[in-house]
């Protein structure tokens, strides 16, 4: 029996927050695996358009779409544009998130908690309600949420971020049970503190204090995270659902 390869030919993907550091690498990795990609952005149109041209240069279809992922009307308008361009989506990658300055709980603005909830939990609700029904009708699909190792760590100053990501985790685990009978898998990738192009430009890839707590003694890279996303999007992961998979070098380890 020949080993299966990651082949996403004929698949269409939507990556939210695709103009961001990790989003760009995930979108390119899916495209290199054969998928056509809808590139969502909220503010950074220039980066999204640059990414679009790179994906098209690979011979894949790609287009850029703007939306506020926390707003149901904006998501609906995005859905209409994507359906007109691609038809249904096979792979939904929930990556967009608002970022706030982390502070001790007693100092964190309560509105930051609402913002994190909107960009994690409500993004998940709006996007899945918009795109998963077509997956159900087709009898196949992949939903992949980008979570974080912080969800397990619960360290000081992480409370707003963790609150939102833990809520996202609960929604996606319930969704996995609800859409499993339609052969749709729902999983989460949880990066550690990941090296991105921003780090490479600033030469800030190393952080010995953090690395000493990681069994593999280094930070992971954006490409290593994207590789796991591509795996979960492929037929290689056809019997994996409801999983929270850390890509953290062992910095967090779910236990039984």
Active-site entry in 41, 113, 161, 210:
161
Neighbours of 246 (CB within 10 A): 22
* 161 is known as an active-site residue: yes
CA 229 to chain centre: 8
What are the residue numbers of the active site? 161
């Amino acid at each position: 029996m020949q080993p299966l390869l990651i082949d996403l030919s004929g698949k269409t993907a939507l990556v939210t927050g695709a103009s961001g550091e990790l989003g760009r690498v995930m979108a390119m990795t899916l495209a290199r695996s054969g998928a056509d990609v809808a590139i969502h952005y909220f503010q950074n149109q220039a980066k999204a358009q640059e990414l679009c041209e790179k994906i098209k240069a690979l011979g894949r279809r790609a287009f850029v779409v703007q939306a506020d992922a926390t707003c149901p009307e904006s998501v609906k308008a995005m859905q209409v544009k994507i359906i007109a361009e691609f038809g249904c989506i096979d792979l939904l990658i929930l990556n967009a998130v608002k970022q706030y300055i982390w502070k001790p709980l007693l100092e964190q603005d309560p509105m930051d908690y609402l913002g994190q909830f909107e960009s994690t939990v409500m993004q998940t609700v709006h996007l899945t309600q918009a795109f998963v029904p077509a997956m159900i009708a087709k009898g196949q699909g992949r939903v992949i949420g980008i979570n974080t190792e912080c969800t397990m760590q619960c360290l000081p100053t992480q409370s707003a971020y963790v609150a939102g990501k833990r809520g996202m985790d609960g929604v996606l685990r319930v969704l996995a049970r609800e859409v499993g009978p339609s052969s749709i898998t729902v999983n989460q990738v949880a990066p550690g503190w990941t090296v991105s192009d921003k780090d490479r430009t600033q030469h800030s890839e190393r952080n010995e204090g953090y690395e000493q707590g990681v069994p593999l003694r280094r930070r992971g890279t954006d490409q290593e995270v994207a590789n796991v996303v591509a795996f979960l999007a492929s037929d290689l992961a056809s019997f994996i659902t409801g999983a929270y998979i850390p890509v953290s070098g062992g910095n967090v380890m779910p236990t039984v």
